[in-house]
C-alpha cells in the first residue's frame, strides 16, 4: 500500500511539474503557419526548461513542426497547443540545430519523421548526455523519458534543397556554419516566411558558444537577399527583414571591432572595455553572455591569423 502511495505521489508531482510549463504565445502568421513563441529566460524551475520558439506548418494531411523544446514534457506541451490549432497529426519534425532546447522534445512525437542537417544529427548524438545534464541541473530534477531522437532524413552542409512536404513548398537551407556547424534554415517561398532557428534571434543576445562567427555573419548577409516578409527566430518575437539586417550589421560591427583590437595587440578583456556595446546592452542576457561572445570571437580571429 505504501509503495502504491509513493508511486501515486510521484506521478502526481510529475504531472504538477508538467502543468507548470508556461504556455507559448501563439502568433498566427497566415492560415497555414503559426509561431509558438516561448519564454526567453534560461532554463529554470519556473519555466521547466521551456525557452524556445517553435513553428507549426499545416500540410494537406498533417503538421510540420519545427523545433520541439528541451524535454519530452515540453514536446507534449507543444503537442497540446498544436492540437488546439488543427486536428491533423504532427507527421514531420524539422530540427534547426542540435542544441537541447530545440531537439529533446522530439521524444514526444514517436510517429513523426525527423529531418535535420547531417551535422545536427552527429552533434546531437555526441552531445546528448551533456545537454540532458544541463537541463536537469538548471531545472533541479531528472527527466527520465527525455532522450535524443535524431533525424532519419538529413541534408549536407552548404546545400539548399527545394522540397514539397505534404503539399507545402519549402527550401531546406544548410549553410557551411553559423550559430553551429549544423544549422538548418527553412524558407517557405510561397508564404515568404523564413524559420531561422538560432541563426536569427530577436531582442536577445545571440549565443556564440558553438558558433563560427564570421560564417554566421556571411549567412546573415545571404538572409538579406531573401524576400522575407516574416522571420520566425529561434528566440524572441517575430522579426522583419529590417530586423534581420540590423542583426547582421550589429554582429559585423562587433566582429570588426574584435578583429581591430586583436591586430592592435589587445587582449579580449581589453577589447571588451574599448568596444562600444551600447546597441547590445538593452538585449536580454547581456550580462550572462556578452563577455563570452567577445572571447569566442577573439579566439576565432586569433585562429584565423595563423
**pLDDT score of 5:** 38
**Percent of the chain's residues with pLDDT above 90:** 93
Per-residue pLDDT of 31-62, as tens digits, reads: 999 999 999 999 999 999 999 999 999 999 99
Domain chopping of the chain, boundaries: 14-241
| Residues 6+ positions from 294 with CB-CB distance below 8 Å | 254, 258, 268, 271, 272, 275
* Contacts of 38 by beta carbon, 8 Å cutoff, 6+ apart: 22, 24, 50, 51, 52, 53, 54, 69, 235
147-196 tens-digit pLDDT: 999 999 999 999 999 999 999 999 999 999 999 999 999 999 999 999 99
pLDDT band at 305 (very low <50, low <70, confident <90, very high): confident
CA–CA separation, 51 vs 42, rounded Å? 7
Give the cell for residue 194: 523564413
Position 8 pLDDT exceeds 80: no
Q: CATH number of 14-241: 3.30.465.10, 3.60.15.10, 2.60.120.1440, 3.30.70.20?
A: 3.60.15.10
Distance CA 134, CA 291 (A): 20
| Contact by Cβ (8 Å): 292, 211 | no
Amino acid at each position: 500500500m505504501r509503495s502504491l502511495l509513493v508511486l501515486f505521489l510521484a506521478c502526481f508531482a510529475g504531472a504538477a511539474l508538467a502543468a507548470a510549463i508556461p504556455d507559448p504565445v501563439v502568433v498566427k502568421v497566415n492560415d497555414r503557419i503559426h509561431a509558438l513563441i516561448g519564454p526567453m529566460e534560461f532554463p529554470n524551475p519556473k519555466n521547466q526548461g521551456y525557452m524556445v520558439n517553435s513553428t507549426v506548418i499545416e500540410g494537406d494531411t498533417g503538421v510540420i513542426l519545427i523545433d520541439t523544446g528541451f524535454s519530452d514534457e515540453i514536446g507534449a506541451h507543444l503537442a497540446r497547443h498544436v492540437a488546439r490549432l488543427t486536428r491533423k497529426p504532427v507527421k514531420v519534425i524539422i530540427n534547426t540545430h542540435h542544441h537541447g532546447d530545440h531537439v529533446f522534445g522530439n521524444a514526444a512525437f514517436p510517429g513523426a519523421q525527423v529531418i535535420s542537417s547531417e551535422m545536427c544529427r552527429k552533434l546531437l548524438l555526441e552531445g546528448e548526455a551533456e545537454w540532458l545534464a544541463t537541463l536537469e541541473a538548471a531545472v533541479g530534477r531528472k527527466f527520465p523519458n527525455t532522450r535524443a531522437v535524431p533525424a532519419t532524413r538529413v541534408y549536407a552542409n552548404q546545400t539548399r534543397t527545394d522540397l514539397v512536404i505534404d503539399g507545402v513548398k519549402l527550401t531546406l537551407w544548410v549553410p557551411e556554419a553559423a550559430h553551429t556547424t549544423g544549422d538548418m534554415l527553412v524558407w517557405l517561398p510561397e508564404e515568404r516566411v523564413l524559420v531561422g532557428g538560432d541563426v536569427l534571434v530577436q531582442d536577445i543576445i545571440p549565443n556564440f558558444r558553438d558558433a563560427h562567427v564570421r560564417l554566421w555573419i556571411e549567412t546573415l548577409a545571404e538572409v538579406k537577399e531573401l524576400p522575407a516578409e516574416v522571420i520566425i527566430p529561434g528566440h524572441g518575437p517575430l522579426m522583419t527583414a529590417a530586423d534581420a539586417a540590423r542583426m547582421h550589421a550589429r554582429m559585423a560591427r562587433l566582429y570588426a571591432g574584435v578583429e581591430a583590437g586583436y591586430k592592435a595587440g589587445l587582449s579580449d578583456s581589453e577589447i571588451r572595455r574599448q568596444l562600444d556595446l551600447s546597441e547590445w546592452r538593452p538585449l536580454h542576457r547581456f550580462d550572462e553572455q556578452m563577455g563570452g561572445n567577445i572571447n569566442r570571437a577573439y579566439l576565432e580571429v586569433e585562429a584565423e591569423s595563423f
